[in-house]
Structure formats: structure tokens, C-alpha cells
Amino acid sequence: MMNEETRTMIEGHGYTDLREINGLICGVHRYIYTCGVCVGLDETGYSARICFDTMQNAQLFLKDWDGGNAPEVGTDGCTAVK
């Protein structure tokens, strides 16, 4: 469960739209050319990233995502799954 200290630390690294899915902290981060939904955020980084062409597409995906399958590259603005 995400406590305030963890939330503040992760937000301090530029992540937004934080939420927990299946016990994993997820959030959106802007990169140079894409925006990523990062999964498994903690003090060391993240375990997976789903990249989108716009911040809006990343936020929309994370808002409705249940932690299941990632989108296919080329659909709904998804550009990569890492």
C-alpha cells in the first residue's frame, strides 16, 4: 500500500496520476519523445513501462487499466512495451 512518504518521493521524481493496481504502484511519466505508464514504481525505479505518443493517451490508459494485458503497439497511441 502506498503511504504519503512513498507518494511524495515518487511524485518528486516527476511521476503523476499515481494509483495502485494489483498491489503495484503505477504512474505516468513524460519522456523526451513519449509518455510512459510505469508499473511497479518504488525507490529503485520501475519494473515495466508502456509508452504512448501523448500524455493524454497514457493518462487515459492508466485510468481504466486493470493490470491485465498491455495494449498492442500501434493501438490507442501505444508506441512500445518495455
pLDDT at site 7 = 95
Mean pLDDT of 18-44: 96
Enter the C-alpha cell of residue 39: 508499473
Separation between Cα atoms, residue 44 and residue 61, nearest integer Å: 24
pLDDT at site 1 = 76
pLDDT at site 16 = 98
- Tens digit of each residue's pLDDT (9 = 90 or more) over 47-77: 999 999 999 999 999 999 999 999 999 999 9
- Tens digit of each residue's pLDDT (9 = 90 or more) over 1-29: 789 999 999 999 999 999 999 999 999 99
